[in-house]
């Protein structure tokens, strides 16, 4: 209301000026127009950055126009900023006000309050507030990006497909990919060599997605076109142009309704069409076969409860394996091997466990053996703790909510940030948090920590629905590499690690290179 009155006042002054002068030359008109527009823009920005002040919520002074995001993407990673505010304000309030550019957000600090949001009262926070536009960008029709009724309907269709017993049935297909990966390694790496470990792991994870999510061949050579598509689609995401102004993906998050009005596409049309054609072709091909491998494509296409998934829904789930899972899985294994390269005693302990379990099962990769890889799971969990691929969780408040036992309230429409990376490095929950120590996940220590002190996959109804399969895939990939090779730092290994500040997830930059030697 205040802004509207000021705009009317400014416009009225310009009109009055015109009447008094009766004539106005072009330079004067342009100057007054520019002055009025600048003033209006300033008032809008000023009002946006006054949200938490008017609410009486603790917050740091924002910087125009970045809010609290100044330097993010160039000098800083978003995880660094969230960690700084978490450290400064923990213990002062259950949450503080935070500005992601012009968007006011709630930065959660208290684990009890986080548990209320993620688990106890999750019905108030079932949306993520991510951009989706199913009509023009069908690959956004997935469980990660959808909200509201659309998410609930798709979740109800698919939640029973992700039960642990169902996931275990995909294990034989995963083993076929692992076997091909092992044969490729034996052929390509026969002696001590410097290796782009990140690229090596890309190969395994891309083949897993190609085979299990897209129903493609598990043959390395045949999957080269898919591999090129999988590794490059991120670099060719489309950018919509409006008056020759580039609209970045972050703006789609800040102004989703405007982005939908502009028919903004998060994924390039060519990538979308290629993915849809590939899946539809594979589904038609399988319809003619008497038996097909038990993989995710089969699970999705044969699902009839409570109703059948359509082609776009299947494509959205398959594509989410790529953009949400591929780089995350690559980074986790690469970072784990990086840490083990600098701590050979831990590496050798893990290798002994792997070989002991393999010997017990006579080198038959049965799924039961994964339960016995206790130390390997500790290593992966410690990697997920120190380097969570997604350093924060997002939730959108869908109903007004009073935090229990406090005087604080969250309003409908408030975006909530849960700073996962900051919590994972909090010395109150992890002794020497910046040290890579798998003993952080010894069973005796896990029992003493709050459940929300470890959130690599989220928690509650909107946690990562594929987390059981992700851990299975990570274990298989890591045990295969440790069984075959020893890893050590080399002259190209960057220490300390640096991360790509332009990404919202933690990705090493440059890629991790290590010395690999056959065992």
Q: What is the pLDDT of residues 97-141, one digit of tens each?
A: 999 988 999 999 999 999 999 999 999 999 999 888 888 889 999
Q: Is the pLDDT of residue 243 over 50?
A: no
Q: Is the pLDDT higher at 501 or at 364?
A: 501
In a domain, 25, yes or no: no
CA distance 415 to 395: 6
Using CA atoms of 107, 109, 113, 117 in order, give the dihedral in degrees to the nearest 10.
Answer: 40
For residue 17, the model assigns a pLDDT of: 54
With a cut of 50, say whether residue 43 has pLDDT above it: yes
Q: In this structure, how many other beta carbons lie within 10 angstroms of the beta carbon of residue 16? A: 10
Q: Is residue 37 part of a domain?
A: no
* Per-residue CA distances from 401 to 57, 92, 107, 109, 287 (Å): 15, 20, 15, 17, 49
Average pLDDT over residues 83-109: 94
Spatial contact of 223 and 207, defined as CB atoms under 8 Å apart: yes
Q: How far apart are CA 297 and CA 294, in angstroms?
A: 8
Q: What is the CATH number of the domain that holds 476?
A: 1.10.630.10
Distance CA 501, CA 391 (A): 12
Poorest-pLDDT segment among 42-46, 299-303, 337-341: 42-46
Residue 81, Ramachandran bin (φ over 0: left; ψ between -120 and 50: alpha; else beta): alpha
| Residue 282 located in a structural domain | yes
What is the residue-averaged pLDDT of the chain? 87
Above 70 in pLDDT, residue 328? Answer: yes
| Residue 18 confidence (pLDDT) | 52
CA-based max dimension of the chain? 96
Interval 481-510 mean pLDDT:
92
Boundaries of domain holding 240:
50-518
* 315 domain residue, yes or no: yes
Q: Is residue 207 part of a domain?
A: yes
* Backbone angle region of 506, left / alpha / beta, with phi > 0 → left and psi within -120 to 50 → alpha: beta
The average pLDDT across 355-362 equals 91
Rounded to whole angstroms, how far apart are CA atoms 448 and 441?
11
pLDDT at res. 353: 97
In the predicted model, is pLDDT for residue 314 greater than 70?
yes
In a domain, 5, yes or no: no
Distance from C-alpha of 293 to C-alpha of 45, rounded to nearest angstrom: 56
Is it the case that residue 53 has pLDDT exceeding 70? yes
Tell me how many domains the chain contains. 1
The mean-pLDDT minimum among 132-141, 335-344, 357-366 falls in 357-366
| pLDDT of 33 above 60 | yes
Percent of the chain at pLDDT > 90 equals 56
* Predicted pLDDT at 27: 77
pLDDT band per the 50, 70, 90 thresholds, residue 59: very high
Q: Contact, 372 vs 388, CB < 8 A?
A: no
pLDDT-above-70 percentage for the chain: 90
Residues 358-372 have a mean pLDDT of 86
Please give the angle made by the CA atoms of 437, 440 and 443, to the nearest 5 degrees.
Answer: 135
Residue 464 annotated as binding?
yes
What pLDDT is attached to residue 241? 33
pLDDT (mean) for 196-223: 84
Closest CA to 49 of 41, 40, 57, 61: 61
In a domain, 267, yes or no: yes
Residue 34 falls within a domain, yes or no?
A: no
- DSSP secondary structure of 441-465: GSHHHHTTS-GGG--TT--GGGS-T
Question: Using one digit for the tens of pLDDT, what is the confidence trace for 387-438?
Answer: 999 999 999 999 999 998 888 899 999 999 999 999 999 999 999 999 999 9
Query: Distance of CA 169 to CAs 179, 215, 360, 464, Å?
Result: 17, 15, 22, 19
Element (H, E) at 230: helix 224-232
Q: What is the pLDDT of residues 149-176, one digit of tens each?
A: 999 999 998 988 888 888 888 999 999 9
């Amino acid at each position: 209301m205040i802004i509207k009155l000021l705009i009317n006042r400014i416009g009225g002054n310009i009109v009055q000026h015109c009447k008094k002068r009766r004539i106005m030359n072009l330079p004067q008109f342009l100057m007054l127009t520019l002055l009025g527009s600048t003033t209006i823009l300033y008032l809008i920005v000023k009002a946006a950055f006054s949200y938490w002040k008017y609410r009486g919520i603790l917050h740091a002074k924002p910087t125009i126009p970045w809010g609290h995001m100044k330097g993010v993407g160039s000098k800083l990673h978003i995880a660094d900023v969230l960690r700084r505010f978490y450290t400064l304000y923990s213990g002062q309030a259950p949450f503080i006000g935070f500005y992601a550019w012009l968007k006011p957000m709630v930065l959660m600090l208290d684990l009890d309050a986080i548990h209320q949001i993620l688990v106890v009262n999750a019905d108030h926070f079932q949306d993520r507030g991510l951009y989706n536009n199913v009509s023009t960008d069908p690959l956004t029709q997935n469980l990660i990006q959808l909200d509201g009724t659309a998410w609930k309907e798709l979740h109800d269709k698919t939640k029973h497909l992700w039960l642990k017993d169902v996931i275990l049935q995909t294990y034989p297909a995963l083993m076929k990919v692992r076997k091909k990966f092992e044969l490729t390694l034996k052929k390509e790496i026969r002696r001590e060599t410097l290796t782009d470990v990140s690229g090596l792991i890309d190969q395994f994870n891309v083949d897993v997605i190609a085979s299990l999510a897209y129903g493609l061949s598990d043959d390395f050579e045949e999957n080269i076109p898919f591999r090129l598509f999988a590794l490059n689609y991120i670099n060719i995401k489309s950018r919509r142009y409006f008056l020759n102004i580039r609209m970045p993906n972050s703006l789609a998050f800040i102004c989703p309704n405007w982005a939908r009005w502009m028919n903004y596409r998060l994924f390039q049309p060519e990538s979308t069409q290629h993915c849809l054609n590939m899946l539809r072709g594979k589904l038609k091909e399988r319809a003619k076969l008497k038996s097909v491998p038990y993989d995710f494509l089969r699970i999705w296409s044969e699902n009839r409860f409570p109703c059948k998934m359509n082609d776009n829904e299947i494509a959205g789930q398959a594509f989410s394996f790529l953009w949400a899972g591929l780089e995350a899985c690559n980074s986790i294994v690469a970072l784990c091997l990086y840490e083990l390269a600098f701590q050979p005693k831990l590496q050798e302990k893990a290798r002994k466990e792997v070989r002991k379990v393999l010997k017990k099962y006579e080198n038959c990769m049965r799924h039961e053996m994964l339960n016995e890889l206790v130390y390997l799971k500790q290593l992966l969990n410690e990697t997920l703790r120190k380097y969570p691929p997604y350093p924060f969780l997002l939730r959108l408040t869908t109903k007004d909510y009073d935090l229990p036992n406090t005087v604080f309230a969250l309003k409908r429409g408030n975006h909530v940030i849960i700073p996962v990376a900051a919590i994972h490095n909090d010395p109150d929950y992890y002794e020497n948090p910046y040290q890579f120590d798998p003993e952080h996940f010894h069973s005796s220590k896990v029992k003493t920590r709050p459940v929300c002190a470890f959130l690599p996959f989220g928690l509650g109804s909107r946690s990562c629905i594929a987390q059981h399969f992700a851990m299975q895939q990570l274990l298989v990939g890591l045990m295969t590499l440790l069984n075959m090779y020893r890893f050590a730092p080399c002259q190209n290994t960057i220490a300390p690690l640096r991360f790509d500040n332009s990404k919202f997830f933690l990705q090493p930059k440059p890629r991790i290179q290590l010395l690999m030697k056959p065992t």
